Chains A and B, each alone.
Chain A
Amino acid sequence: MVYRRLSVVDVDLCVGCQCCMFACNRRFAEAGLSRSAIHVRSAGGFERGFVVTVCRACPDPPCMKVCPTNALELRKHGGVILKPEKCIGCQNCVEACTIGAIFWNKVEAKPVICVYCGYCADFCAFGVLKAEPLEGEKK
């Protein structure tokens, strides 16, 4: 298995269609946004373009360090894997992520965390997103 992460190739190509957000939610064959681990908003009005927030798969993730129950486990080469059964819903991880790439699923009271599958990139018609091998994989 190749460990990958998602990267934003060129945010200026983004048109703000949010098809990536809907795609992420469709991993579970559900329509909507509550389970989406990617977020696109305007950079202060549509005239200024967009901010695309995705997990960077940090090698030393701050979110993991603040979890009181160790529900977030370090993934090989970077990023975290959520063990939902351990999560107590404290939202520390949401706070801790500097770029705000951990989202909250209100319905399930659990964080929504990127699984680095790249499904969203398949639905970006403008080449903004790419799933690429992690540093450790490249060597």
Chain B
Amino acid sequence: MMEEDSLSRILYVDLSRRRFWVKERPELFEKWLGGAGVAIQLLKEECPKDADPFGPENPVIFAVGPLNGLFPIASKTAAMFKSPLTGNLGESYAGGRSSIALRMAGYGALVIKGSSETPVYLAVHEEDVHFREASVLWGMRSSYTVGRVIRGREPAAGVRTIMRIGRAGEKLVSYACLVTETYRHFGRLGLGAVFGSKKLKALTISGKRSFKFKKPRQYREVYDKIFEQLVTSPAMKKYHELGTAMNIGPLNEMKALPTKNLSSASFEKAEDISGESFAEKYLGRRVACAHCPVSCVHIAALREPYETEPYFYKTKMISYDYELIYALGSMLEIPSPPEVLKLIDEVETFGLDAMSTGVALAWATEMQERGLITETELSGLRLRWGDAEAYTKAIQMLVEQPNDFFRALARGVDYASLKYGGSEYALAFGGNEMPGYHTGPAAHVGYLVGARHSHLDGSGYSIDQKWSAAGRQPTAEDVAAALISEEIWRQILSSLVICYFGRGVYTQEIVVEALNVAGYPVSYQELMKLGAEILKAKYEFKFSQGFSFEGLKVPKRVLETPTPLGFISEDFIRESVNLYRRKLESL
């Protein structure tokens, strides 16, 4: 580590006793870098074996790493907790200003323990920590408003993060997210609900530090090299121009875009909801996370008339991304950008994870279509593919949970299908709803075995696409080997904590160079060893909380709809999972 670096300082906050303290733990950050590496150690320390995800014993951990604040696109914060959705590892990342704020406030990690009796929000301004009254904010319909209020009340505009939950988090929807800077999210696995269970409405952090280097010249050189690549590489340019939504077209073309609850892998109206279509007609602004010159965040301007008054309009600014257009677009057969945007807006208002919400609604639609549930379960709603208005109402009901059915659906499709049937087409993997890639076996095996059951764990979707392009049929061994080696390397990126969009720039050499400048003399081999250890630590936590590879279910639907690499068989998936497990055991 660098001299006088504040990275090793951990801020502990106990909401039950309304106390806080700081511990210096350099050994933790020297061994595990930061981010995911440190967070999993803290989670193992703090979270008991049978913790109730909604109990005060479930900690929330935020961690940043040695490159945050030093180098561009090292812009993310790692969060860990026990997930109410999967019952084991909760792990989620967000950018916005979160990582810069935590690092500049002078901490490497924040551990939130206990739970409050009454609604609070937490304000951390460098050394000052305040437990602020939040009863007025509790129950507010829109998470946007909560942000606005806190913006006005707290200091340090420009160098702060404001994380907050919406109604979904308050109502403990298992896939409620934590929103930061309005448009970024700790999206997956239910961090918002864990906040809600602690009566923690929001968290703001601010700071303005500087860090000195032993070799200042070298710092500027490495910095300039990384920056130059970030602003000139064509891949980065694409993220800036169309954003992740650029993938709608190509994925649809190759028949890998899950549509209508994956009864198909291409969508007739894909062109209408493509990145190009959104950008040409609706793009209103692009923004960036702090310290990122790529600026991938795309915000649409949606101008809507008020029905009651002529010539009276409101313009809403709504961010969109590939995953959102998949989940609230093709998955539900929503045919046009304004309707997709309205659904996104609803999901943002309540603070839900868009992917889980879309998958839950798609499953419910198919259930109703097949007569397994009726309008009674749906409180009078009739869900139809493409009917955005009905889906808007359904989203509200997911949050308000007026009956048993919605209470079940608010716990995820896996849980709901255990009660109501339809598990063959309940698209959850390890309890987490499916991301938007039906690219081939690596994608699906990746969702199953990935430590957080996300497409980002081992990036199977991108591995599949490389095989497709090369005309190669992978074996189960290929799948397992490719997934685990990518997942190991990604443990390092998520310990530093670098945005995955920058992974092409942060090659092995660059990461080693940057770490050297930051006072970590390491080699690539040592990093890979460490990556493996971090992955193992995550699995130790998962196993201790009841996860097992045997317990993984494969929704039949995945086998029925062909991928660009053909049909996948359950045997192939099982074999790949077993091979992955053996590789993990021998790490």
**Residues of chain B lying within 8 A (CB to CB) of residue A45:** 144, 147-148, 151, 182
Which of A18, A31, A35, A49 gathers most chain B CB within 10 Å?
A31
Among A25, A41, A107, contact of B158 (Cβ-Cβ < 8 Å):
A41
Among A29, A39, A49, A125, contact of B219 (Cβ-Cβ < 8 Å):
A29
Contact B104 A32 (CB under 8 A): yes
Given contacts A31-B219, A106-B208, contact A39 B158 (CB under 8 A): yes
- CB of B278 to closest CB in A, whole Å: 16
Given contacts A30-B210, A125-B231, contact A17 B292 (CB under 8 A): yes
Contact A17 B157 (CB under 8 A): no
Chain A, interface residues (CB within 8 Å), range: 20 to 34
Of the candidate stretches B31-39, B107-115, B283-291, the one touching chain A is: B283-291
Interface string of A24-58 (1 = CB under 8 A from B): 01101111111100011110111111000000000
Query: Quick check: is B295 within 8 A (CB to CB) of the other chain?
Result: yes
Chain B, interface residues (CB within 8 Å), range: 35 or more
**Residues of chain B lying within 8 A (CB to CB) of residue A22:** 72, 291
**Residues of chain B lying within 8 A (CB to CB) of residue A16:** 287-288, 290
**Residues of chain A lying within 8 A (CB to CB) of residue B159:** 33, 41
Among B70, B157, B183, contact of A41 (Cβ-Cβ < 8 Å):
B157
**Residues of chain A lying within 8 A (CB to CB) of residue B562:** none
Interface string of A85-97 (1 = CB under 8 A from B): 0000000000000
Contact A17 B288 (CB under 8 A): yes
Query: Quick check: is A8 within 8 A (CB to CB) of the other chain?
Result: no
Interface string of B274-300 (1 = CB under 8 A from A): 000000000001111111110100010
Query: Quick check: is B131 within 8 A (CB to CB) of the other chain?
Result: no
Query: Quick check: is B313 within 8 A (CB to CB) of the other chain?
Result: no
Query: Quick check: is A15 within 8 A (CB to CB) of the other chain?
Result: yes
Interface string of B250-273 (1 = CB under 8 A from A): 000000000000000000000000
> What number of residue pairs across chains A and B have CB atoms under 8 A from each other?
98
Question: Closest residue of chain B to A26, judged by CB?
Answer: B220
Interface string of A1-18 (1 = CB under 8 A from B): 000000000000001111
Query: Quick check: is B217 within 8 A (CB to CB) of the other chain?
Result: yes
Q: A66-104: which residues lie under 8 A (CB-CB) from chain B? A: none
Interface string of B194-223 (1 = CB under 8 A from A): 000000000000001111110011011001
Chain A interface SS verdict (over half): loop
Q: B130-166: which residues lie under 8 A (CB-CB) from chain A? A: 144, 147-148, 151, 157-159
**Residues of chain A lying within 8 A (CB to CB) of residue B181:** 46
Query: Quick check: is B335 within 8 A (CB to CB) of the other chain?
Result: no
Contact A25 B210 (CB under 8 A): yes
Among B69, B289, B293, contact of A31 (Cβ-Cβ < 8 Å):
B69
Question: Closest residue of chain B to A49, judged by CB?
Answer: B285
Question: A35 vs B313: C-alpha distance in the bound complex, in angstroms?
Answer: 44
- CB of B212 to closest CB in A, whole Å: 5
Among A17, A25, A30, A39, contact of B293 (Cβ-Cβ < 8 Å):
A17
**Residues of chain B lying within 8 A (CB to CB) of residue A25:** 210
- CB of A73 to closest CB in B, whole Å: 25
**Residues of chain B lying within 8 A (CB to CB) of residue A131:** none
Question: A22 vs B227: C-alpha distance in the bound complex, in angstroms?
Answer: 12
Contact A29 B217 (CB under 8 A): yes
Contact A32 B69 (CB under 8 A): yes
**Residues of chain A lying within 8 A (CB to CB) of residue B217:** 29
Among B151, B291, B299, contact of A19 (Cβ-Cβ < 8 Å):
B291
Question: A35 vs B211: C-alpha distance in the bound complex, in angstroms?
Answer: 10
A-B contact pairs, 8 of them (CB 8 A): A17-B295, A18-B158, A18-B290, A30-B216, A34-B209, A41-B159, A46-B183, A123-B293
Given contacts A33-B208, A45-B147, A125-B293, 14 further A-B contacts (CB under 8 A): A16-B288, A19-B291, A29-B220, A30-B212, A30-B216, A31-B213, A31-B219, A33-B209, A34-B209, A41-B159, A42-B158, A45-B182, A123-B227, A125-B231
